[in-house]
Structure 1
Amino acid sequence: MMFLISQEIGQKMSLGDKVSSSKGTEKPFTALIVDDDFLIRKMHESILKSVGITTQIAHNGNEAVDIFRSGANFDIVLMDMEMPIMNGIEATKELRAMGVVCKIVGVTSCENTAEKEAFKQAGLDILHEKPLTLAKVNSILEQPQN
């Protein structure tokens, strides 16, 4: 099975391929997984790694914001909604306020429609129910960024 990623410049590439930068170096497709649940983090990490995506982990929204403040960049962020210290809504708002433009995917088990809508309005590109599956990841990666 081949996964395709639409990049900002309209090109397509297979997951696991490398992206050439202007300096001629290669950069793997990267994802930040932000979730306080160990099992969900490991499940999502395993799925992403199985299709060649390099991952980094944050245990809450505050850690995610700090990672971006340190200069890190990602192609996609998987953001849980309900976490201690800083939840996904607050973290997404903060990341967008910082100018982060990568695709942010909300991932939640919350059933409250108003809370899910608030999460979307915080700056998500997509919202999915937990847990993600390989099919959901494929769907996420095929959707253009807002």
Structure 2
Amino acid sequence: MASKNQGSAPRALVVEDIKVDCVILLRMLHKLNCEATVAHNGKEAIDLFLEGKTFDIVFFDKDMPVMTGSEAVTKIRAMGGTEVKIVGVSADFGGMEAFIGAGANVFVPKPMKLETLDSMLQEVLGKKNISG
């Protein structure tokens, strides 16, 4: 059994409408001992925040039905979700401007690498351990 590191496992929200991309990201998150929740579009993600759910990091796909990733990021930031680290993920390089403009912390092109994901989680955990 894996030993528990200080504090709890990071909580991630994966907002992705393409099943294959979602499964790949979830597998990587589980490999890195991360608790993951899935939303299939930006509106589902907003609803989770409205229900009072909290996450340490959120991965948003850009183009989704109902509400795009960048629209959802804008709303989450407007709702006061300033502590959560938001990562925009897209195969479309125009996605970077949309996400950063909306208030995302980072933009990562698809496909995401395990090392990239690991270093982002370490950063989030590091902050979590310092502040709480």
TM-score band by shorter chain is 0.7 to 0.9
> TM-score under structure 2 normalisation?
0.85
* 1:10 paired residue number: none
* Aligned position for 1:41: 22
Q: Which runs of 4+ in 1 moved over 3 A?
A: 142-145
Q: For 1:28, what is the secondary structure of its paired residue?
A: coil
The partner residue of 1:138 within 114, 118, 129 is: 118
Aligned partners of 1:30 and 1:53 also within 8 Å: yes
| 8 Å CA contact retained: 1:126, 1:140 | no
TM-score when normalising by structure 1: 0.77
Aligned residues: 122
Q: Which has the higher helix share?
A: 2
Distance 2:114 2:63 in 1: 22
Of 76, 91, 104 in structure 2, the residue corresponding to residue 109 of structure 1 is 91
- The offset of 1:138, in angstroms, is 2.0
| Identity fraction in percent | 36
Match of 2:48 in 1: 67
Structure 1 pair 111–28 and aligned structure 2 pair: CA distance change class (3 A): closer
Compute the displacement of 1:134 (Å): 0.7
Gaps of 5+ in 1: 1-14, 20-26
- For structure 2, which runs of at least 5 residues remain unmatched after alignment? 128-132
Match of 2:32 in 1: 51
Paired with 1:49 and 1:68, the residues of 2 have a C-alpha distance of: 22
Structure label with greater radius of gyration: 1
Name the structure 1 match of 2:130. none
